[in-house]
Chain A
Amino acid sequence: MDSQAIVTGHADPHEGHEEHPAYLRHHFVTVEQQRETASFGMWLFLLTEIMFFGGLFMAYLLYRNWYYDAFVASSNTLGIGLGTTNTGVLILSSFTMAMGVYSAETRNRKGLLTSLSLTICLGLVFLGIKTIEYHDKYTEHHIPGASFSVEDFVHPTDKRDVPLAPDMAQHAQLFFFLYFAMTGMHALHMIIGISILFVLLYQAYHGAYIDGHTSTIDNFGLYWHFVDIVWIFLFPLLYLISRHPLK
């Protein structure tokens, strides 16, 4: 330890170092440490994201309990076809992302590029379908706020739907608020993910991630899977409340 007591620095930071890969950051001792640290960091970050979404789930829990009928009716107005398709799309994108990780680990540049591109496409498809769904809500006057109309709930067109009393129908706004807040927050995370994917794609095109340093792709994969899992919770909670058999 004496050598640590008072020291001046070395002129050249690389003098006296063993050989190490270029991607080893200088505050890490080994590549192992760097990789494990990055992974730990990402898991911890995902934990914070769970807490973040947790607040919304808490609000959902409360209001579904208070206004169950309104929640049922509102949930039934969401397009089950589009929702299910989206769920499939996202799960597929998690698969392509996992393939991307595998490609990176097996140093398969082409596979990596293909997987990343597919993931981007599927992500964009998801967002596209979401846009259609949001637009549908807009045209149906289900967006909470000034333009909200209780008509569909007080006088439902589908005979299987139970008409709601006007005050309960007003509470449908709470459902839609939570719908937009939760899927919107999810979509925001998707957009951030897709943006990062573009960056990763660009880097991969120029040869990154297939030299043994797959940390970035691994950890981004974790993030992408997390976003997928959030959707897997959102889908039944929002779309499948006491659903009629296939509409």
Chain B
Amino acid sequence: MHKRLTIPPIEAGPARRDLVALLGGLSLFLSTIEYLIPKPIPFLRVGIANLPILIALDLLPSGSLFLVVLLKVVGQGLVSGTLVSYVFLFSAVGSFASALAMMGARRLFGRRMSLDGVGVLGALFSNTAQISLARLLIFGEGAWLIAPPFLSLGTVTAALLGLFAERFQAGSRWLASLRRGA
């Protein structure tokens, strides 16, 4: 059997709700930072706003984690002014696909798969979902032309972010305090 997570999730109640809000606020802040980075392709994101979701994988149950993703997606839409555009749709589809993949991998493999691996898997799911949507809605068959750079860059940035999250998780006093309170 695979090794189960050893950290119990934060119990339901005000503490968990507050944590979801804090991670949502952090996502919104990181979305603001991300928004300032110029992009050669419109939907391309470095993905730093996913950091709170990677951190939350071991802290929150599925429902609360999806709430963080929802706060992140809406926040990104607000920050970039794309809330009622197709870019928002791409962002939502990519974010939820990525969250599902990361959550599945974490629940299935536990800590045998590092956050680098989880992040890369999430990026692959997110980018594949977005390219498929682009093929369906906008670009047609031509969408596959952007697939190689899109997937390559997504993999590299996700691996870097996963490494950062792994380090953060290992040395964070904030996470340690949350675990003590769990």
Check if A and B associate. no
Q: Which residues of B contact A (CB under 8 A)?
A: none
